[in-house]
């Protein structure tokens, strides 16, 4: 759980719901990975449906939190948006242009606007490069500096912006702590002045006290650089602190999207309720007396998901419509800006 060091509850301005204010629109995105067999692996057996027909938007300047248990497709969604994985189907509309399926050369100019902060600060930095070289590499690739002095000044400024001493530019990753390494990764991401960053569980590998510092840093940088975040995480306390809206993902599907306050105070989907009930409360009396929702069974295989509602095998109160193959999962608006999977609206 994040210990918030600046405020106990972050206050966010309400963003416009006008479609023209959207920096990103994901429409019916699918990301399937083939399973093959045979000596030459040429026979197609099945598909791992990592992301299966999801749609959502992200407004300019906001943070959309994407939560769910491990293996639900969160990181794959982020990589598909950035075209690190070419989507199987669907649209990824960034600043009004559908970039789904673009190749490396087409994406190169767009890399300045779309960046990624990796989950593991230990494996995401090249151990043979100094911190300054790691941060400065995007500046060289995109030709953003005209001289060595400007290059060094830019690196020093970026290090200061993420809370590191500029004199650390000559140190190597093994000389930094985990939190400092993640700050280097953040500095690398903002070096090219992007407008959109996919944050792939950027604090999950850090100590709790360091998590709060990094989250607060990311909020400061968002305001300073006018950034938009897709914040992927499994810690609901972290997501509540930094996000404007939250999308809940299960087995490749988005089952609920709402404003962060609305989602925590009025969850509609049974899976969302189960996730929220697992958040520890720092009050032993309330923690001992509150009801916990424990889901039975295991998550089905994404290569063979249930027909109809993918949550029906673990739903506490399934209905007949859950097994209807024709009633595939889709979101309905149950209240303003609060969308829930149609099959599970009445199951909670």
- pLDDT tens-digit series, residues 308-323: 788 888 887 776 667 6
Q: Across the beta sheet with 331-335, what order do the strands follow?
A: 114-117, 196-200, 228-233, 63-67, 245-250, 253-259, 338-341, 331-335
What's residue 347's pLDDT? 59
What's the topology of domain 21-113+194-344? Rossmann fold (3.40.50)
What pLDDT shows up at residue 39? Answer: 79
* C-alpha pair distances (Å), 36 with each of 106, 289, 302, 333: 30, 50, 15, 39
Task: Return the CA Rg of the chain.
Answer: 21
Map out the domains of the chain as residue ranges. Answer: 21-113+194-344, 127-192
Task: Please enumerate in sequence order all residues whose Cβ is within 8 A of that of 264, keeping only pairs 6 or more positions apart, or say none.
Answer: 240, 276
The whole-number pLDDT of residue 284 equals 73
Pairwise CA distance, residues 13 & 130, whole Å: 39
pLDDT in tens, 53-68: 999 999 999 999 999 9
In the prediction, which pLDDT does 346 show? 59
Q: Of 195, 181, 211, whose CA–CA distance to 118 is shortest?
A: 181
Which residues pair with residue 338 across a beta bridge? 335
DSSP state of 16: P
Other CB atoms within a 10 A radius of the CB of residue 337 amount to 12
- The 10s digit of each residue's pLDDT in 231-253 is 999 888 889 889 999 999 999 99
CA 73 to chain centre: 10
Report the run of H or E that residue 145 belongs to, with start and end: none
Going by C-alpha positions, the residue among 146, 144, 242, 131 that lies closest to residue 188 is: 131
Closest CA to 184 of 219, 153, 160, 205: 160
SS3 state of residue 171: coil
Question: Residue ranges of the chain with pLDDT lower than 50?
Answer: 1-19, 325-326
């Amino acid at each position: 759980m994040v210990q918030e060091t600046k405020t106990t509850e972050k206050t966010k301005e309400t963003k416009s719901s006008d479609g023209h204010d959207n920096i990103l629109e994901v429409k019916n995105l699918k990301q399937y990975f083939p399973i093959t067999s045979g000596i030459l692996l040429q026979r197609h057996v099945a598909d791992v449906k990592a992301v299966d027909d999801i749609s959502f938007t992200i407004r300019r300047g906001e943070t959309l939190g994407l939560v769910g248990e491990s293996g639900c497709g969160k990181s794959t969604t982020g990589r598909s948006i950035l075209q690190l994985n070419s989507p199987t189907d669907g649209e990824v509309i960034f600043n009004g242009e559908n970039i789904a399926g673009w190749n490396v050369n087409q994406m190169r100019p767009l890399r300045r606007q779309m960046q990624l902060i990796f989950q593991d600060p230990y494996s995401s930095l090249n151990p043979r490069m100094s911190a300054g070289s790691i941060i400065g590499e995007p500046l060289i690739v995109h030709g953003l500096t005209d001289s060595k002095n400007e290059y060094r000044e830019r690196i020093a400024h970026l290090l200061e912006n993420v809370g590191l001493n500029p004199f650390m530019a000559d140190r190597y990753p093994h000389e930094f702590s985990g939190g400092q390494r993640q700050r280097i990764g953040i500095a690398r991401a903002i070096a090219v002045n992007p407008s959109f960053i996919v944050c792939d569980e950027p604090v999950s590998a850090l100590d709790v006290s360091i998590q709060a510092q990094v989250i607060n840093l990311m909020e400061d940088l968002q305001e300073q650089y006018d950034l938009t975040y897709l914040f992927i995480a499994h810690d609901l306390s972290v997501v509540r602190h930094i996000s404007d809206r939250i999308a809940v993902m299960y087995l490749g599907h988005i089952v609920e999207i709402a404003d962060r306050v609305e989602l925590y105070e009025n969850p509609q989907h049974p899976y969302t309720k189960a996730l929220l009930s697992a958040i520890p409360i720092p009050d032993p009396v309330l923690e001992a007396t509150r009801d916990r929702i424990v889901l039975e069974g295991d998550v089905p295989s994404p290569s063979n998901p249930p027909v109809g509602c993918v949550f029906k095998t673990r739903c506490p109160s399934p209905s007949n419509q859950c097994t209807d193959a024709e009633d595939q999962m889709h979101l309905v608006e149950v209240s303003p800006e609060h969308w829930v999977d149609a099959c599970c609206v009445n199951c909670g």
